[in-house]
Amino acid sequence: MLRLQLPFPPSVNRYWRHVGTRVLVSKEGREYRKTVRGLMKLQKVKKHDGDLIVDIRLIPVDRRRRDVDNSLKALLDAMQAGGAYDDDSQIVRLTVEKFEPEADCPRTEVTVRRVPAKLGEPGYRFCLRCDDEFYSLGPGNRLCEECTRWRSRLTGFVPIARGRKYRNGARIA
């Protein structure tokens, strides 16, 4: 799994430039790609192969209206140029969230991970706290065993006692 904190990407509206009959990446787009490549080189990012899941959190600088999809092209191309993956066609699941602006630290937080072979199996999930893979005991179980133990060690924690569950009058085990 790869976690990166990158600068906020330029909009796709400023990413492309038309020069005669050609369409080129703008100067701003090239500079962003160079910055991302440098940051990824410092972190010694290794190339991921196979199908990938990418989670993106966008934290802008101000409250101007922005479409989340306008930020994706520059970001995904820059990550490809930096060596996170061979091609962005490897991404099979992409989630993007836009958060409240932070004027002092606009950024993009990216998580890249491989799609596990077991993901299609019922009850197979990612832990909400540590992002590890585990087999869930039911729809309410979103933490792995280790994170559940960590949570139970917190002072004042009382485990939730759940009642019996029924479907169409029959008790569910």
**What does the pLDDT read at residue 104?**
87
3-state secondary structure the chain: CEEEEECCCCCHHHHEEEECCEEEECHHHHHHHHHHHHHHHHCCCCCECCCEEEEEEEECCCCCCCCHHHHHHHHHHHHHHHCCECCHHHEEEEEEEECCCCCCCCEEEEEEEECCCCCCCCCEEECCCCCCEEECCCCCCCCCHHHHHHHHHCCCCCCCCCCCEEECCEEEC
**What does the pLDDT read at residue 135?**
80
**What does the pLDDT read at residue 167?**
74
Does the pTM of the predicted model rise above 0.75?
no
User: Could you read off the pLDDT tens digit of each residue along the chain, which spans 173 residues?
Assistant: 889 999 999 998 889 899 999 999 999 999 999 999 999 999 999 998 888 889 999 999 998 888 889 999 999 999 999 999 999 899 988 999 999 998 888 999 999 988 876 656 667 777 877 777 788 877 778 888 888 877 776 655 555 545 667 677 777 76
